Amino acid sequence: MNQTLNAAFVNRRGRPPGGNFELYAWFFMRISGVLLLALAVFHLFWMHVVIGVDNIDFAVVAARWENPLWKLYDFFLLAFALTHGMNGLRMIGDDYVRRPGLAVAFKAVLFVLYIAFIGMGAYIIFTFVPPEPVAVLP
Amino acid sequence: MTSSRTVYRRGRPILEGLRYRGREGMFAWLLHRATGVGIVLFLLVHIFDIFLIGFGPDVFNKLLFLYKAWWARILEVFLLFGVLFHALNGARIIVQDFWPRLWRYERQLIWAEMAIFIPIFLWGAYVFLQPLFR
């Protein structure tokens, strides 16, 4: 048996090296995939077909975020889509970034981007305060 | 140990990869990756442009050329292609993963997927591009 190859899948105790992370990642991709099938496709349909790109402006988004349920919807979409996407990039990196040092650097960049963008998105969803409607006096 | 070690060369040029005749399954895999990368790149842009709504109506409304310009409409059709394909193909992969006997019918399932994908995509592309011809 080829020891080098075998060591990539199980260690001496017959467990995968690095614990069950890859198993959970696989499972997460399936669960988030099902959720995103609904969340992302509906988002695209809602914004492009029901509302229409021509009609979208600041006021439309402000009105949308008046409703906490839309905020929650947008946050779930953000969190699941970004986690699913970043994990996908990590998997692609595992296939193509072969030099160990570069692979670590690639994952570090992905991690920083992940934290920064989920932070930016969550920040604006939950701290956005719509401006007072400007009173049009006669 | 070193004598029996096999070296697996995994990095291959794109053209060499395309000569592999994996038919439907290979192209579904390739498109799943390509659309996935495309969607996540768009997602980063999208998170950033929505973040800029914090700068108020003037900045944000001007920024929306990112979605309303004629070239943006065409990119949105690519986005629709990517999201719809990635969603349906992902659903097929999940179904096959949980009912492994279906892997035998992968080719047929891909064509079933296409039968759902093509009409929705064509209708969506028509709706997305409508404003350009008004």
- ipTM of this complex: 0.86
Q: What is the mean pLDDT of chain B?
A: 90
Over residues A66-110, the pLDDT tens digits come to: 999 999 999 999 999 999 999 999 999 998 888 889 999 999 999
Question: DSSP label at A42?
Answer: H
Task: Give phi and psi for B81, each to the nearest 5.
Answer: -55, -50
Ordered domains of chain A (ranges, CATH): 3-127 (1.20.1300)
Instruction: Kindly indicate the confidence band of residue B9, based on its pLDDT and cuts at 50, 70 and 90.
Output: low
Residue B1: pLDDT above 50?
Answer: no
Instruction: Kindly indicate the confidence band of residue B15, based on its pLDDT and cuts at 50, 70 and 90.
Output: confident
Residue A14: pLDDT above 80?
Answer: no
The residue ranges of every structural domain in chain B are: 21-133
Which among B36, B50, B128 is the nearest to A88, CB-wise?
A: B36
B13 vs B94, more confident: B94
H or E element, residue B29: helix B23-51
Residue A1: pLDDT above 50?
Answer: no
Which among A3, A61, A98 is the nearest to B53, CB-wise?
A: A61
For residues A106 and A102, what is the distance between their CA atoms, to the nearest angstrom? 6
- CATH of segment(s) B21-133: 1.20.1300.10
Q: For residue A63, give the nearest of A124, A130, A123, A128 by alpha carbon.
A: A130
Interface contact flag, B10 A95, Cβ < 8 Å: yes
Over residues A19-60, the pLDDT tens digits come to: 788 889 999 999 999 999 999 999 999 999 999 999 999 999
Interface contact flag, A98 B94, Cβ < 8 Å: no
